[in-house]
C-alpha cells in the first residue's frame, strides 16, 4: 500500500509558524522603534529577565518546535493529528493568531 500523507495538517502547522514569525517581526518593530511593549505577560517577564527582545524569537521557536517536531518524527503523533478535532483546533489557532497579528499591524499603522 502506498499511502500519501494528508496535506491539511502540515499546511496548518506551516501557517502557524509563519504567523508566529510575522508576529515576532511586528512586535520587534513596536518595541525597538516605537517604544511599545510586549503585552503577553510571559514574554514580557522573559524580556525583563534577559534584557533582550530576542528572547521572544527563541520562545516562539521553542513552542512551535514542541508541536512540529513530534509531528514530523513520530508516526503515532502524526496519526493522532489527522482527526477533525485537531484540524479544527489548528484552524482556531490560526484565526486567533491572525487577529493578534492584524491588531499589531493596525496599531503600527494607525496609532504610532
Span 101-105, average pLDDT? 94
Q: How far apart are CA 38 and CA 45, in angstroms?
A: 9
30's grid cell: 513596536
For 26-47, the DSSP string reads HHHHHHHHH-----SHHHHHHH
pTM for the full predicted model? 0.81
Q: Looking at residue 112, what is its pLDDT?
A: 62
Residue 1 clears pLDDT 50, i.e. is over it: no
Q: Looking at residue 97, what is its pLDDT?
A: 93
Confidence of residue 79 (pLDDT cuts 50, 70, 90): confident
Amino acid at each position: 500500500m502506498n499511502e500519501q500523507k494528508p496535506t491539511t495538517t502540515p499546511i496548518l502547522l506551516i501557517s502557524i509558524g509563519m504567523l508566529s514569525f510575522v508576529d515576532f517581526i511586528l512586535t520587534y518593530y513596536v518595541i525597538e522603534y516605537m517604544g511599545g511593549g510586549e503585552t503577553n505577560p510571559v514574554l514580557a517577564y522573559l524580556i525583563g529577565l534577559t534584557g533582550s527582545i530576542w528572547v521572544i524569537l527563541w520562545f516562539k521557536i521553542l513552542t512551535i518546535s514542541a508541536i512540529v517536531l513530534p509531528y514530523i518524527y513520530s508516526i503515532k503523533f502524526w496519526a493522532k493529528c489527522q482527526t477533525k478535532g485537531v484540524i479544527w483546533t489548528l484552524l482556531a489557532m490560526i484565526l486567533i493568531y491572525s487577529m493578534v497579528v492584524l491588531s499589531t499591524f493596525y496599531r503600527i499603522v494607525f496609532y504610532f
